[in-house]
Amino acid sequence: MKSTFRFTPLFVALAATMSGAAFADDAPATNNQDGFIAGSSLTLDLKNYYFNHDRHDGKQDSKEWGQGFIGIFQSGFTEGTVGFGVDLNAMLGLKLDGGGGSGGSSILPTTASTKPDNLYGDAPDSFSSAGGAVKMRAFNTIVRAGDLFLNNPVIAGGSTRMLPMTFRGFEATNTSIDHLTLDAGQVSFDKLFNQSGNGRIGTYYGALPDGKESKHMDWAGGTYTGLPGVTTSLYASQLKDIWNQYYYDLDYTWALNDLVSLNPGFHYYHTQDSGQALLGPIDNNTFSLHLGVTVGHQTVTASMQKVNGNTPFDYIQDGDSIFLDNSQQYSDFNAPGEKSWKLQYAYDFVGWGLPGLTSAVSYTRGTMDLTKATQNPESGYSYYSADGKDAKHWERDVDLKYVVQEGPAKNLGVRLRWATNRGGDGYKAVDHNADEYRVIVDYPINIF
- Type of residue numbered 288: S
Q: How far is Cα 313 from Cα 153, in angstroms, rounded to an integer? A: 13
- Type of residue numbered 108: L
Q: How far is Cα 301 from Cα 266, in angstroms, rounded to an integer? A: 13
Alpha-carbon separation of residue 369 from 324, 328, 375, 420 (angstroms)? 21, 21, 13, 22
Give the side-chain half-sphere CA count within 13 A for 264: 1
- Type of residue numbered 419: A
pLDDT in tens, the chain (448 residues): 444 444 443 443 344 444 443 333 333 344 455 789 999 999 999 999 999 988 887 677 789 999 999 999 999 999 999 999 999 999 999 999 876 666 677 888 877 655 655 566 678 889 999 999 999 999 999 999 999 999 999 999 878 899 999 999 999 999 999 999 999 999 999 999 888 889 999 999 888 888 899 999 999 999 999 999 999 999 999 999 999 999 999 999 999 999 999 999 999 999 999 999 999 999 999 999 999 999 999 999 999 999 999 999 999 988 899 999 999 999 999 999 999 999 999 999 999 999 999 999 999 999 999 888 887 777 888 767 777 888 899 999 999 999 999 999 999 999 999 999 998 877 765 567 889 999 999 999 999 9
Domains of the chain: 7-446 (2.40.160.10)
Q: For the chain, report the end-to-end CA distance as a whole number of angstroms.
A: 56
Q: How far is Cα 267 from Cα 327, in angstroms, rounded to an integer? A: 12
Residue 371 three-state SS? helix
- What DSSP letter does each residue of 2-45 carry, written as one string? -----HHHHHHHHHHHHHHHHTSTTPPPP--TT-TTTT-EEEEE
Tally Cβ neighbours within 10 Å of residue 221.
21
Asked whether 301 and 174 are in contact (CB, 8 A), the reply is no
Strands 357-368 and 413-423: unpaired
Alpha-carbon separation of residue 318 from 156, 159, 167, 296, 389 (angstroms)? 9, 11, 12, 36, 29
- Type of residue numbered 253: T
